[in-house]
């Protein structure tokens, strides 16, 4: 029997499959990453550096950080609320609610931007009302934040819901029966249980918030130095044939992606460890 098994898992077959998979990954995943840094540094470090400290680039970095600093905490609060309601209680329509929470994942980013234009734009439902009060949402920072919150909406909730479902309600019920208040129970019992899952969701949420292009591009108006996030700034520079600067700004976003992947791998490792130790 051993030689039949050997036939199936021959060294040659194994090597061929590994080589094919690695070639595919090198071609489609590694090469683009290498291209970003090569193009960014193609005119040397001086050109790279000056592209990054240019005022419009700095304004884009600041706006991107601002948008993430608003939309990520908002999604943390929402995600915890949604997961608490779904995992700790029984109610009719639960699976419909979860489907609705996931909805933004199946909507094209462009449509995500469009819906806010239809709502708040000059010709939108609330457009005239907003105009009378001199409030600008579309082609301004609030619109960018709203579109970002929409596309990142499910990230935290969808990490926490299955995790909190799996952990059940016994821990919380024990704490409450011992006299802890609801908030104490959440802070001392639930939060430590879900911390790795929460961190995981926040990482993904942040990466998407800083990198979102389609939805933000529709609502931003592309005002240089004012409503340009980093991905939008990359597009403008690229369309102006300023490739070194475009790839320089892009390289910062690629670094963000790499850091996200590294942290994510660490969390996965700790998270699995943590979950196993909970199970036993």
Partner 1 sequence: MEIALSSPLQMPASPTSSEPARRARRKSVIPGFGLTMGLTLAWLSLIVLIPLSTVFVRSAGMGISDFVAAGFAPRALAAYRISFGTAFAAAVINGVFGLLTAWVLVRYDFPGKRIINALVDLPFALPTAVAGIALTAIYAGNGWIGQFFEPLGIQLAYSPLGITLALIFIGLPFVVRSVEPVLEDLSIEVEEAALSLGARPWQVFARVILPAILPSLLTGFALAFARGVGEYGSVIFIAGNMPFKSEIAPLLIVTHLEQYDYAAAAAIATVMLIASFAILLAINLVQAWSRKRLSA
Which residue shows structure tokens 């934040």? 145
Site string for partner 1, 86-125 (x = CB under 8 A): --xxxx--xx-xxxxxxxxxxxxxxx--xxxxxx-x-xxx
Instruction: Output the CA torsion sign for 270, 274, 276, 280.
Output: positive
Query: Is position 278 an interface residue for partner 1 (rule: CB under 8 A)?
Result: no
The DSSP call for residue 189 is I
Site string for partner 1, 205-244 (x = CB under 8 A): --x--xxxxx--xx-----------xxx-xx--x----x-
The minimum distance between CB 77 and partner 1, in angstroms, equals 8
The minimum distance between CB 59 and partner 1, in angstroms, equals 17
**Helices 141-152 and 55-88, interaxial angle, to 10°?**
40
Which of 68, 76, 82, 248 lies at the binding interface for partner 1 (CB under 8 A)? 82
The minimum distance between CB 254 and partner 1, in angstroms, equals 6
Rounded Cα–Cα distance for residues 234 and 53 (Å): 14
Nearest CA to 178 among 166, 164, 188, 163? 188
The minimum distance between CB 46 and partner 1, in angstroms, equals 21
Contact (CB, 8 A) for 51 and 249: yes
Which residue shows structure tokens 């608003």? 70
The minimum distance between CB 110 and partner 1, in angstroms, equals 4
Region 6-45 residues binding partner 1, contact defined as CB under 8 A: 7-8, 13-14, 17-18, 20-22, 24-25, 27-33, 35-36, 39
Rounded Cα–Cα distance for residues 193 and 214 (Å): 35
Q: Which two tokens stand for residue 58?
A: 């700095």
Query: Is position 57 an interface residue for partner 1 (rule: CB under 8 A)?
Result: no
Which of 43, 61, 66, 84 lies at the binding interface for partner 1 (CB under 8 A)? 84
Region 134-173 residues binding partner 1, contact defined as CB under 8 A: 146, 149-150, 153-155, 158-159, 162, 165-166, 169, 172-173
Region 252-271 residues binding partner 1, contact defined as CB under 8 A: 253-254, 256-258, 260-262, 264-265
Size of the site for partner 1 (CB under 8 A): 110
């Amino acid at each position: 029997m051993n030689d039949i098994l050997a036939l199936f898992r021959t060294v040659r077959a194994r090597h061929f499959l590994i080589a094919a998979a690695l070639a595919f990954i090198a071609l489609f995943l590694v090469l683009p990453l290498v291209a970003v840094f090569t193009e960014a540094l193609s005119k040397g470090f001086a050109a790279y550096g000056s592209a990054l400290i240019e005022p419009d680039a700095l304004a884009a970095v600041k706006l991107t950080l601002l948008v993430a600093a608003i939309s990520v905490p908002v999604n943390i609060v929402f995600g915890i609320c949604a997961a608490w309601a779904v995992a700790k209680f029984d109610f009719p329509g639960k699976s419909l609610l979860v489907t609705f929470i996931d909805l933004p994942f199946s909507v094209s980013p462009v449509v995500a931007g469009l819906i806010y234009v239809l709502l708040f734009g000059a010709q939108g439902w609330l457009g005239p009302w907003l105009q009378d009060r001199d409030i600008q949402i579309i082609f301004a920072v609030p619109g960018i934040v709203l579109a970002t919150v929409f596309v990142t909406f499910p990230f935290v909730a969808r990490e926490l819901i299955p995790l909190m479902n799996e952990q059940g309600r016994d821990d919380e019920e024990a704490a409450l029966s011992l006299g802890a208040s609801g908030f104490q129970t959440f802070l001392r019992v639930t939060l430590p249980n879900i911390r790795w899952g929460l961190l995981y969701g926040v990482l993904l949420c942040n990466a998407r918030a800083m990198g979102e292009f389609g939805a933000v591009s529709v609502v931003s108006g592309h005002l240089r130095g004012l409503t340009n996030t980093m991905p939008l700034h990359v597009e403008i520079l690229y369309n102006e044939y300023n490739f070194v600067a475009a790839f320089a700004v892009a390289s910062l976003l690629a670094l963000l992606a790499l850091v996200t992947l590294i942290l994510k791998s660490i969390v996965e490792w700790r998270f699995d460890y943590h979950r196993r130790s909970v199970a036993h």
